[in-house]
Amino acid sequence: MSIPFPAIDPIALSIGPIAIRWYGISYVLGILLGLYWMKKVTKTGPAFKPITAQSIDQFLSLAIIGIVVGGRLGHVFFYTPSLLVTAPLKIVYVWEGGMSFHGGLIGLILATAWHCKKSSTSFFAFADLLACTAPIGLFFGRIANFINGELYGRLTDVPWAVVFPYGGPGTRHPSQIYEALLEGVVLFIVINMASKKPFFTRNPGRLGGLFLINYGLARSFVELFREPDVHLGYFFSFFTMGQMLSLPLILAGAYFLTRKSSPG
């Protein structure tokens, strides 16, 4: 028993030689809705009052560059390092797909640090604001992964298993949907509920730490159902690359969650 894979063309719209893909649309939706939510949170959350709408608008272009460049370079260095030797020009072929969340996160952190230094804004307060927003982009990104039929799960016989177009004839876990729910919906609820609790707003950086811990745990859990990259396989006969990259996030999150410092 399985659920038929929805016949959705990865290309949402074609205008002459220009193809607009659902993956690109997911990035646009994530950024626009994230921008809206950031401004909304600053109006309702007392911890974010010092962050102005103007500061958020100024940050937008830096965030896009950080996410795209970091995500692409992360994919190359973490998952396809052979491109550095065999086809280095393909590193910039973003339209062909291949983005890494962990790389995108590093790029976003660097963009945030640059913006906060230029605008004299608290880095940790801004990171907390981003933590409230990031699950929105994660949700749409994972839905786009499902539409593309990529990053599918391992073979299974659960009733909701799916036969993916590029995953062979076997039925597989729709791991992209698992990630959309855990990293997107659940994480959004957890972080935004926590943003109303004094413990998490008393020290800037705690919400960011909570996000890193919960993302790392959610990603590591779903990796148990997700097909590992064929060319990478398992590390130490068990761990996937996604789990290996998530461990530093959990450790960093624990540090930010427990650190004691004055706001700034």
The number of domains in the chain is 1
| Composition of the chain by helix, strand, coil, percent to 5 | 65, 5, 30
Write out the residue range of the structural domain in which residue 105 sits.
Answer: 18-258
Q: Quote the pTM value.
A: 0.88
Judge whether 101 lies within some domain. Answer: yes
Tell me, yes or no, whether 72 lies in a domain: yes
Residue 136 buriedness (CB in 10 A; 0-12 / 13-18 / 19+): buried
> What's the pLDDT tens digit per position in 209-263?
999 999 999 999 999 999 987 767 788 888 998 899 999 999 999 999 988 765 4
pLDDT in tens, 31-80: 999 999 999 999 887 778 788 888 999 999 999 999 888 888 888 888 88
pLDDT the model gives residue 96: 62
**pLDDT score, position 94:** 67
Confidence check: pLDDT of 17 > 50: yes
Mean pLDDT of 168-197: 96
Asked if residue 6 is part of any domain, the answer here is no
Separation CA 178–CA 139 (nearest Å): 10
Give tens-digit pLDDT for 92-130: 776 666 778 888 899 999 999 999 999 988 999 999 999
Looking at every residue in the chain, the average pLDDT score rounds to 89
155 occurs within a structural domain = yes
Give me the mean pLDDT over the 151-174 stretch: 94
Closest CA to 179 of 117, 223, 245, 125: 223
Instruction: Identify whether the C-beta of residue 41 lies closer than 8 Å to the C-beta of residue 48.
Output: yes
DSSP 8-state secondary structure symbol assigned to residue 167: S
